[in-house]
Amino acid sequence: MTDSAGSPYVVEYAATFAFAASPERVWAVLEGFETLAAKWTWLRELRVDGSGLQKGTVVHGVVVPPVPYQMRLDVVLDECAPARRIDASVHGDLEGTAHIAFEGDGAGTRANAVWTIEMMQPAMRVAARFAPRLLRWGHDRVVTATVNGLRRHLAEHA
């Protein structure tokens, strides 16, 4: 990661998402990551080395956002506290860190997501210089599709 604030190659993201399920239920659904991810049209070539949401698990995949590029990624789970927190490192065509903290009670969960990632692919770096809004739009569409998919799964399997 570069330390330069405002770099066109770096995406800093922070958002809070609400789910109509307890943190324990959200965690349980996320533990079945491969089943959940099977419905994500933006994810290809998914492979998981490890067992569930625990330290050391590595998720490998290819992300295909609604823009003309794809990204090969490895997400390493650095720390996991069940129903409370996930800290991860991202490697490959993106490099950075991601953190998700879960808060709530039996009725609902707030997931606070924060990440900083740097685009490493030369083509993405060129696009970031000339079409940064397009790249951010693609990023945000993947995030929205993921959150909506998790909400649907929670509702269908309540």
Q: Which CATH number does the domain housing residue 120 bear?
A: 3.30.530.20
In this prediction, residue 34 carries a pLDDT of: 83
DSSP letter for 20, please.
Answer: S
Domain membership of residue 4 (yes or no) is no
In this prediction, residue 5 carries a pLDDT of: 58
In this prediction, residue 2 carries a pLDDT of: 39
Q: Look at the chain and report how many structural domains it folds into.
A: 1
Spatial separation of the C-alpha atoms in residues 23 and 84, rounded to whole Å: 7
In this prediction, residue 119 carries a pLDDT of: 94
Domain membership of residue 113 (yes or no) is yes
Q: What is the pLDDT of residues 27-44, one digit of tens each?
A: 999 998 888 888 888 888
Spatial separation of the C-alpha atoms in residues 124 and 132, rounded to whole Å: 10
Range of the domain at 104: 11-156
Spatial separation of the C-alpha atoms in residues 123 and 76, rounded to whole Å: 24
Domain membership of residue 5 (yes or no) is no
Asked if 97 and 87 touch (Cβ cutoff 8 Å), the reply is: yes
Domain membership of residue 91 (yes or no) is yes
Domain membership of residue 45 (yes or no) is yes
Q: Which residues of the chain have pLDDT under 70?
A: 1-5
